[in-house]
Structure 1
Amino acid sequence: MWNLNRSRTLDKLRRGETVLSFKSNLSCPRAVEIAALAGFDCVWLCCEHVPNDWLTLERQVLAGRAGGADIMVRVERGSYSDLVKPLELNASGILVPHVISAEEARQIVRHTRFYPLGRRPADGGNSDGCFTMLPFAEYIRFANENRFVMIQVEDSEALAELDEICVVPGIDAVFFGPGDFSQSIGVPGEIGHPEVKQARKLVAAAARRHGKFAATVGGTANLGELWSEGYRFINLAADVVTLAEQCRRVVENAAEVLHEYDPATAG
C-alpha cells in the first residue's frame, strides 16, 4: 500500500556491491535530482557546514528519491532532534561527524535507533511513517532495518578506541574523513600523507573486522585503491567542485581562443 523506499545503499552494501555517492553543498533540489538521474546511488547533503534549513532538506530528499537515489544527511552535533529529523524527512541515512569514542557511538545509537537497539523518540507522523498511516510496529521495524547510521572517524584521538567504536551495535558504517584527519596530525590538507593513508587502511580493516561497512571520499583516480582496501561506500564527486572546475575550464579555454584571435592580444 505504501512505498516505503528501501535503502538502495544498504541493499547494495549487504550484497557486497560498491555504493557511489555524490556530495551536494548547493541548496538546490534540481542539483540533487540531476546527480540521482545520472546514476549515483546516494547523494550526501550536509548540515555540518552548509546553511541548509529543514524545508530545503525536505525538498532535496524528495528530489533525490524522485531520481532513484538515497539521501544521506550529515547532521549537526546538537540535540537528538538534529540527529533524527533527517530520518523523519525520510532520508535513507545520517552521517555523524567527529566521533572519537565508543561512548559517543553508543549514545548516537540510543538517539537514532528504535527499540531494541536504542530509544529513538518515536513520532510516526512524518514522511518516514507515512504520516501515521503506517502501523507503528511496522514503522519501528522498517526504520531499524532500512535506515542507516554512519559515523565519521576523522580525528587521531579516535584511533585509540577504533575497535571499540566499530563493535557498537546499531552502527552500520564507519566513514574515514581524510581532510580533518590530516589536520589532527598536523599536516592540514595533505590527504596523501603516509600517516593519513595508514589511518585510512586501519579504519577500513577495523570496520570490516567488526561487520561494519567502510566509507570514505575519493575519486576515479584512486577508486581501485580504495576498493582494494575494503571501502564499499565511496563519495566520488561534489556539485561545487564539478561546477567550479567546469566554469574555470570554460573561462580558460575562452581566454586562449581570444588571445589567438583578438588583435589586441595576439602577438
Structure 2
Amino acid sequence: MINSLAKRRLEKGEVVIGTFVKFASANLVEMIGLAGFDFIIIDTEHANFTHGEVEDLIRAAQLVGMSAIVRTSDAGEATILHALDSGASGVQVPSLSSAAEAATVIRRAKYHPLGERGWAPGCRAGDYAYTPAKTYIEQANRDTLIAVHVENARMAGDIDALCALDQLDVAFIGTGDLSQSLGHPGEPDHPDVAKVVDEVVAACARAGKHYGVVASSPEGLKAWVGRGARYIAWQSDMVMYKNALKAAMDKVAPFRVGRGEV
C-alpha cells in the first residue's frame, strides 16, 4: 500500500511538484492532490502531528493518487518505522551531518538485503499482511523514496560521499538552515550560501543524483528547474492558505460598511 508516483517520475527525469503539509486536515490533502500536485511532505519536524494523524494524511493522499513523503523529526529508527509502516511513500530526513548518517537512514528504511528495517508485515504499508511477505519486501525496497537534507556546512562538505549512496533518491537543499550554519542566518541568498549551494548542485550533477529545493515564486521555480532540480517543494499548505486568505480579504475589505472604509 505504497504510492510510488513521485519516485517513478523522478526515475524518468521528470519534474515532480509537491508541497509541505503542516495542517492535520485530510480534506485539505485531498484538495492538494485534486489540484494536481505529485506529492506532499508531511512536516513532522516543524508541525505537531500524532501518529494517527500522519497515517490519515497518508491515506488521504493515496485516495487521490498522490505520494506522501514524511519529513521526520529525527533520524531515529522508530521515527522512520512509524512513517514507513503507516504507508508513507518515503521519508525526508533533516539535521544530518554526514554521508555515514545518511547511510544509517537508508539501512533503517530498507529491508534486507538493502538494509535492516524492522520487520512488521502486518502494518498498513504491508496491507495488514494480506500481501505475501516476499512481495511486500520487494515492493517496499523498490518503491520507498529516501531523501535527506543538505542543510549544514558539514553535510555540504560531505556531498560527494552522500551522492555515492546508491539507495539515496534525493539530496534536499535547505538554504534556510544552511545560511545559519554558514554564519548568515536568515540570508539564504548570501554569496557564501550561494557558493555552497552551487557546489552541492554540481556534485549532484556529476553523480547523476537528484536534488530538491523549496520554490516560492514562479521565477524561482523556473530558475531551479533550469539548473536541474527535479524534486520541488512549492511553499506549504499554510503559506498557500495564508496567501489565498489575504488575497480574498484584499478584495472584500473595501466593502466593510460602517467601518469608514466605504
Q: Please classify the TM superposition score into its range, dividing by the shorter chain length.
A: over 0.9
Which amino acid is the alignment partner of residue 223 of structure 1?
A: L
**Aligned ranges for residues 218-257 of structure 1 at < 5 Å?**
218-219=215-216, 220-257=218-255
Q: Partner of 2:47: helix, strand, or coil?
A: coil
* Aligned partner of 2:129 among 110, 129, 132: 132
Tell me the TM-score normalized by structure 2: 0.93
- Check conservation: 1:24, 1:31, Cα contact below 8 A: no
Q: Name 1:171's counterpart in structure 2.
A: 168
Query: In structure 1, how many angstroms separate the alpha carbons of the residues matched to 2:123 and 2:38?
Result: 24
Which amino acid is the alignment partner of residue 247 of structure 1?
A: L
- Check conservation: 2:70, 2:92, Cα contact below 8 A: yes
Which amino acid is the alignment partner of residue 7 of structure 2?
A: L
**Aligned ranges for residues 196-211 of structure 1 at < 5 Å?**
196-211=193-208
Query: In structure 2, how many angstroms separate the alpha carbons of the residues matched to 1:33 and 1:204?
Result: 33
- Check conservation: 2:2, 2:140, Cα contact below 8 A: no
Q: Partner of 1:222: helix, strand, or coil?
A: helix
Q: Name 1:8's counterpart in structure 2.
A: 5
Q: Partner of 1:231: helix, strand, or coil?
A: coil
Q: Name 1:193's counterpart in structure 2.
A: 190
Query: In structure 2, how many angstroms separate the alpha carbons of the residues matched to 1:239 and 1:263?
Result: 32
**Aligned ranges for residues 19-168 of structure 1 at < 5 Å?**
19-77=16-74, 79-168=76-165
- Check conservation: 1:32, 1:64, Cα contact below 8 A: yes
Query: In structure 1, how many angstroms separate the alpha carbons of the residues matched to 2:128 and 2:253?
Result: 55
Query: In structure 2, how many angstroms separate the alpha carbons of the residues matched to 1:202 and 1:177?
Result: 14
- Check conservation: 1:182, 1:191, Cα contact below 8 A: yes
Q: Deviations over 1:99-153 (max 9, x none)?
A: 2112101111121111121111111111111111212111111111111111000
Query: In structure 2, how many angstroms separate the alpha carbons of the residues matched to 1:113 and 1:217?
Result: 26
Tell me the TM-score normalized by structure 1: 0.91
Q: Deviations over 1:45-67 (max 9, x none)?
A: 01111110110011100101111
Q: Partner of 2:101: helix, strand, or coil?
A: helix
- Report the Cα offset of residue 194 of structure 1: 2.4
CA 1:80–1:257 in structure 2 vs 1: closer, same or farther (change >3 Å)?
Answer: same
Identity %, equivalent residues: 28
Quote the RMSD (CA, aligned, Å): 1.8
- Report the Cα offset of residue 263 of structure 1: 8.2
Task: Name which of structure 1's ranges 102-111 and 185-194 shifts more when overlaid on structure 2.
Answer: 185-194
Which amino acid is the alignment partner of residue 58 of structure 2?
A: V
Q: How many residues align?
A: 261
- Report the Cα offset of residue 6 of structure 1: 4.4
CA 1:265–1:210 in structure 2 vs 1: closer, same or farther (change >3 Å)?
Answer: closer
Unaligned runs of 5+ in 2: none
- Check conservation: 2:254, 2:261, Cα contact below 8 A: no
CA 1:263–1:92 in structure 2 vs 1: closer, same or farther (change >3 Å)?
Answer: closer
Task: Name which of structure 1's ranges 186-195 and 90-99 shifts more when overlaid on structure 2.
Answer: 186-195
Query: In structure 2, how many angstroms separate the alpha carbons of the residues matched to 1:5 and 1:50?
Result: 23
Query: In structure 2, how many angstroms separate the alpha carbons of the residues matched to 1:35 and 1:150?
Result: 21
